[in-house]
Amino acid sequence: MAATVTLEPASRCCWDEPVRIIVRGLAPEQRVTLRSSLRDEKGELFRAHAFYCADADGELDLMRVPALGGSFAGLEPMGLFWALDHEKPLVRLVKREVQTPFVVELEVLEGHEPEGGRLLGRAVHQRDFLPPGVRREPVSAGRVRATLFLPPGEGPFPGILDLFGSSGGLCEYRASLLAGHGFAVLALAYFKFGDLPKYLREVNLEYFEEAVDFMLQHPKVKGPGVGLLGFSKGGDLCLSMASFLKGISATVVINSCVANTLAPLHYKDMIIPDLGSDLEKSTTTESGVLDLMNIWNNPLEEPYCQSLIPLEKAQGPFLFIVGLDDHSWNSKLYAHIASERLQAHGKERPQIIYCPGTGHCIDPPYFPLSRFSVHSVLDLAVLYGGEPKAHSRAQVDVWQQIQIFFHKHVNGKKSVTLSKM
């Protein structure tokens, strides 16, 4: 092959780490196409491509040279990763097995023809989800079903419980990556996994209390409290945990409601009803997918305000991550309600990060945008929102802000030095 593709780091690194891509051995100012491809565990193919022009020395450094078009344009050193897309628009890229990497193939093709150009160079890069030295320990303790990820070293480490949304099951990829940054992270399942309930018909907070106790009693977890990280439905569960349970030092929620949703919440002799929704209030986009933004009842109106979570009872601080193009929840409104309620009760206002052009599914850095997908509960195609470039930038910033927040409020570090992303 005529060209050499150099990657830094060379052959593998963690998914949330950036890669520098340099192509050498091209003709001066040669026009080429760079193409990336990845197959997930189900064999689904995701691809991206971009058009470039080499410099006067026949070199192409993606940190210095902008893309001229294709899946993206402009100076985007990681564009070949965050722009990966499936030919079927409803297929979302997720990592199901964190003990194996994603393998990304990078190709250099002659001309600006992503399908027909002559192959000039090729490289393969492994993107790991289990960082070096991180230990993965399945957990089946009492009723708790989870996976614990422990950083390398003796510890103890600041502890975090990580919850996903209404898809259920056990999602580990965010927890495993976060453990690589010095946290003991428990990826917690709460339905549709093992012997847990198959459907989310009711939620018992005692289950989550047991998970918190498990972490606080673990010899590798640093007390006196743990952090909570929740996305979507997992977010309002984290808000309920912070409000009613002891041992919670800090809570981060990503595109979540400030009211209890989808199922009644039980704790001791208390029941918080679910907010409720009306699917008939949904709208359908031109591409035929549902926009769920307006289906939820207003948590400030009677009788729906009974589902509001009493955040003022929480002891630790909050961080709300808000995608301003979230079409699953009115996340901006809910964060505002939370802020007003906390201040009305004399509590510190939460930290809120507003992310323009960002949709519902905010993942760790360099995951492609999932703008719409088939909802696991409704079994219908729904709109999640987001614009690829803005969404990608938000994921990088949010990932850093989450680490800073937890290091400060769970680990007790006033200043944190993060790796360049």
Residues serving a catalytic function are 232, 326, 360
CA atoms of 139 and 154, how far apart (whole Å) = 20
Two structure tokens written together for 179: 């453990």
User: Around 306, how many Cα atoms within 13 Å sit in the side-chain half-sphere?
Assistant: 11
- Considering only the C-alpha atoms of the chain, give the largest distance between any 2 of them, rounded to a whole number of Å: 75
The CA distance from 11 to 301, in Å, is 55
Q: Could you tell me the strand order of the sheet in which 60-61 lies?
A: 4-8, 20-24, 60-61
